[in-house]
Structure 1
Amino acid sequence: MGTLNALSILILDDEPLARERLRALLSDCGTEPVAEFGEASSALDWLSHHPVDVALVDIRLPGMSGMEFARQLSERCPSPPALIFTTALDTHAVDAFELAATDYLLKPVRLERLRTALERAAGRRPVSGRRFTQFTVRSRDRVQLVPLEQARYLKAELKYVTLVTASGQEYLLDDSLIKLEEDLGPAALRIHRNCLVMRHAIVSVERVGTPPDDHWAVQLTDVAERLPVSRRQLAALRAAVGR
């Protein structure tokens, strides 16, 4: 996906005029959609058999909302596309990024904002030969490098992402959790909408507690507490670590 014309794109919007405008903007970006839908359930059915790179999704839709569509993507689609929300509503941005959206565009969508969002989506796949090896962090009045092997997990709280290391040291990072997940690639695994763990630090994935309060959790090397795993992420996590 080095160029925008290599992206396969789906449009999900119940307004014909909105779909027409997006088609025109995509044409100006040098590409075009491979599929269009006016409601979410049909789009989900189609995506389960026809993977695409990007989905441009309105939030206010008949029946299933765009947000619910996004929640079901990872469950129903083997290769979920990058999500770019296109909406007249400015009240769902936080929820959208918690769902790992690539971008959130307000209508009327502007060409340059759409182009930027598509370029971001195009850059989500790791560049061949590139490997993430260290975090750049600020500590007091200096910048230092923390090797990847020292990292244990990343947690997002409010506007900040915190890196927790093997020694228990915590550092605030400038990048978003979504950006860090993209940069880390297979070195990190998502266990919750606000938490990534380092693959090399995983000791076990197991059920803890007793019903009805039991849940799944990850045990990491050098970390006393077991980190909870959301039901949404459990299957992918267990498949990734072979447990």
Structure 2
Amino acid sequence: MLKVLVIDDEPLARKGMLFRLGSFPELNVVAECGNGKEALEAIQQHQPDLIFLDVEMPGMDGFAVLEQLKQLNFTLPYVIFVTAYDHYALAAFDVNAIDYVLKPVEAERLAAAVNKAMQAIGSKDDQKHKSQLAEVVSRLTGDAPETILERLDKSEPVVDSRFPEAISIKDSGEITRVPVIEIDWVDAAGDYMCIHTKDGQTHILRKTMKELEQELDPRLFVRVHRSAIVNVHTIVKLQMLPNGEHQLVLSNQQTIKVSRSYKDRVKQVFNH
């Protein structure tokens, strides 16, 4: 039997995962953790073969947990990411990851991930492990698995700089996938981002402006203010106001202030 750890900051998500893992007699769940700190302690104590790791956790996210283990020179267990954000799987080659499953977890998808874990751990075949991960990244990027493996052998970056086609937003037990091309503009509201889409809806995302900006293709989105990002295709006009400030007019007639520090960046949009 494999020793397994379940790590997720959402109690209901942990409960659901524990219930699903109960149908795998080859897995022995030795502990469950609700945050990164607990995870570090439990991994060092139980030395699990496999962990189911949520990426998005407050304080210390899943990648930070693995980085801390590396700094402690602790042998990493095999990892199956459990996340609402499929683009995180692109980082699979940076850790000892087997696969990823998206929330809400589907039984068939979980079974496939567990099967991969059993095969990889049983064979200890590094090349097979790389091949499995190449298939995961191939599904996300469209690159051939052979191309990805060739980059690995040459110590080249596994994936090109790519950006997600959709943003996944969790709200009241639901996950909404908002296509990036449907986003008109984004503004900050405290610790949350308000994502305004072409159909007039506003979606609330708990993420910093800096984090969201890194996920959006800079060819399609421009930062116009410390608290605003705009889809360049929605920009109609750049206006100078009587007080010397600038503002954008979008195709939906929304006006957005442009701060001085971002003015030159906005003007570049009109030069293309």
User: Which TM-score applies when normalising by structure 2?
Assistant: 0.45
- Determine which structure has greater relative contact order: mean sequence separation of CA pairs < 8 Å that are 6+ residues apart, divided by chain length: 1
Higher helix share: 2
